């Protein structure tokens, strides 16, 4: 068995900043209401015509990660792309990235595990490297949420939360056993799938257009539904469980964590987990205040920023954890 390590990280968010005050002009909400419930101050949204899409943002993040990893695109053996907002029903974003980066005929896998998507994608990449099948894997999480949100008062409980963006990691084979990705832990519970769901079509013709075509519709299934309190209660329970599971699998304790990067779903969830685990502010990284919930992109964006800011150093124990629609949840334990 080989060991896999993260050799390079990159992220990209659109230039268009949307503040809480901006949203208050579109719906009955305000900055205080949003911050109190979510901790979010602003988020980034794609502007029509700016050239961005889910795949395009993924490519922009991937180019940075490849450069930092000092690995050529021609050395990539596998692409794993996590998203809930692909540009098309099919083909998937993985092959779009492959074409845009002009990568040879390597396999491309698309992962549809929503908020847990990057953890699942990281796990897939890790297993392929550990078994010796591949040496270098490009893992991407990218989301275009803004085109699928209802920016009226009716949709405010969901629409104030989400933002657009992408993050990427290059995983490579390492000869240093005990360093890199130590283990990943994945779970799902399908009986609660409809408590956080979207039953509608693709981002090419999505919520704003459909609402405009059917302004009187009272039961439009094309924007997200979320049972907020139910999701919150499950999230705080599963986050704690899967973090402890990962630590125990590697003979570690909570006190050994140098940096916890939770999926940026809601600042209140992250703060609750931090308090429950008795971690200091220096041991948890949050950036939801700036970007909102970017689903599969949230962990790689946050991981990239934490590393860029010098908050992650060689030898650190880094824990990634996520919970989301499905319900799905997971963790990754990394020795940097």
- Tens-digit pLDDT profile for residues 127-165: 999 999 999 999 999 999 998 888 999 889 899 999 999
Q: Are strands 17-19 and 42-44 parallel, antiparallel or unpaired?
A: antiparallel
Give residue 53's pLDDT: 97
Contacts of 132 (CB under 8 A, 6+ apart): 1, 2
Confidence of residue 29 (pLDDT cuts 50, 70, 90): very high
What mean pLDDT, rounded, does the chain reach?
93
pLDDT of residue 219: 59
Maximum alpha-carbon separation in the chain: 61
pLDDT for res 92: 94
CA dihedral for 61, 67, 73, 75, sign (positive or negative): negative
Q: Which of 263, 266, 286, 287 is catalytic?
A: 263
Write out pLDDT tens, residues 161-173: 999 999 999 999 9
* CA 249 – CA 92 distance, rounded (Å): 34
Catalytic residue at 263?
yes
Give the strands of the sheet with 136-143, arranged side by side.
3-12, 165-174, 136-143, 78-82, 108-111
Instruction: Using the predicted structure, report yes or no on whether residue 202 has a pLDDT greater than 60.
Output: no
Q: How high is the pLDDT of residue 226?
A: 82
Question: What sign does the dihedral 249-251-253-258 (CA atoms) show?
Answer: negative
For residue 299, the model assigns a pLDDT of 98
Whether residue 215 is predicted with pLDDT greater than 80 in this model: the reply is no
How many other CB atoms sit within 10 Å of the CB of residue 276?
14
Q: How far apart are CA 332 and CA 23, in angstroms?
A: 35
pLDDT digits (tens, 9 = 90+) for 31-77: 999 999 999 999 999 998 999 999 999 999 999 999 999 999 999 99
Measured CA distances, 164 to 145, 146, 150 (Å)? 6, 7, 15
Predicted TM-score (pTM) of this structure: 0.93
pLDDT of residue 176: 83
Cα three-residue angle 239-241-247, rounded to 5 degrees: 100
**How many whole angstroms separate alpha carbon 133 and alpha carbon 136?**
10
Query: Which one, of 58, 45, 82, 63, lies nearest residue 295 by Cα?
Result: 82
Average pLDDT of the residues in 227-247: 92
- For 83-121, what is each residue's pLDDT tens digit? 999 998 889 999 999 999 999 999 999 999 999 999 999
Tokens of 325: 């629609």
Mean pLDDT to the nearest integer, 248-261: 98
Q: Find tokens 């009226």 and name the residue.
A: 152
Out of 9-13, 51-55, 217-221, 275-279, pick the least confident.
217-221
Residues near 19 by beta carbon (within 8 Å), at least 6 away in sequence: 31, 41, 42
183: tokens are: 């283990």
Point out the catalytic residue in the list 106, 115, 144, 286: 115
- Please tell me whether residue 273 adopts helix, strand or coil conformation: helix
């Amino acid at each position: 068995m080989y060991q896999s390590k993260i050799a390079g990280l990159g992220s990209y968010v659109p230039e268009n900043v949307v503040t809480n005050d901006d949203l208050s002009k579109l719906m009955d909400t305000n900055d205080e209401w949003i911050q109190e419930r979510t901790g979010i101050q602003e988020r980034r949204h794609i502007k029509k015509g700016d050239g961005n899409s889910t795949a395009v943002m993924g490519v922009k993040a991937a180019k940075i990660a490849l450069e930092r990893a000092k690995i050529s695109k021609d050395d990539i053996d596998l692409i794993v792309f996590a998203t809930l907002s692909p540009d098309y029903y099919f083909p998937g974003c993985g092959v779009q990235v492959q074409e845009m980066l002009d990568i040879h005929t390597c396999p491309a896998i698309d992962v549809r595990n929503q908020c847990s998507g990057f953890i699942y994608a990281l796990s897939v990449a890790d297993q392929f490297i550990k078994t010796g099948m591949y040496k270098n894997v490009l893992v991407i999480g990218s989301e275009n949420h803004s085109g699928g949100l209802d920016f009226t008062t009716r949709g405010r409980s969901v629409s104030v939360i989400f933002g657009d963006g992408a993050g990427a990691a290059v995983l490579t084979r390492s000869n240093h056993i005990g360093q890199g990705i130590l283990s990943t832990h994945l779970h799902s519970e399908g009986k609660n799938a409809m408590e956080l769901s979207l039953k509608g079509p693709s981002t090419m013709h999505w919520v704003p257009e459909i609402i405009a075509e059917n302004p009187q519709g009272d039961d439009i299934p094309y924007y997200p539904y979320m049972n907020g309190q139910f999701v919150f209660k499950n999230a705080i329970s599963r986050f704690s469980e899967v973090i402890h599971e990962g630590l125990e699998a590697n003979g570690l304790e909570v006190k050994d964590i140098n940096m916890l990067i939770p999926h940026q779903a809601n600042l209140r969830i992250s703060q609750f987990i931090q308090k429950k685990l008795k971690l200091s502010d220096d041991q948890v990284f949050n950036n939801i205040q700036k970007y909102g919930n970017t689903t599969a992109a949230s962990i790689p964006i946050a991981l990239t920023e934490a590393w860029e800011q010098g908050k992650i150093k060689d030898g650190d124990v880094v824990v990634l954890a996520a919970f989301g629609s499905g319900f799905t949840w997971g963790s990754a334990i990394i020795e940097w």
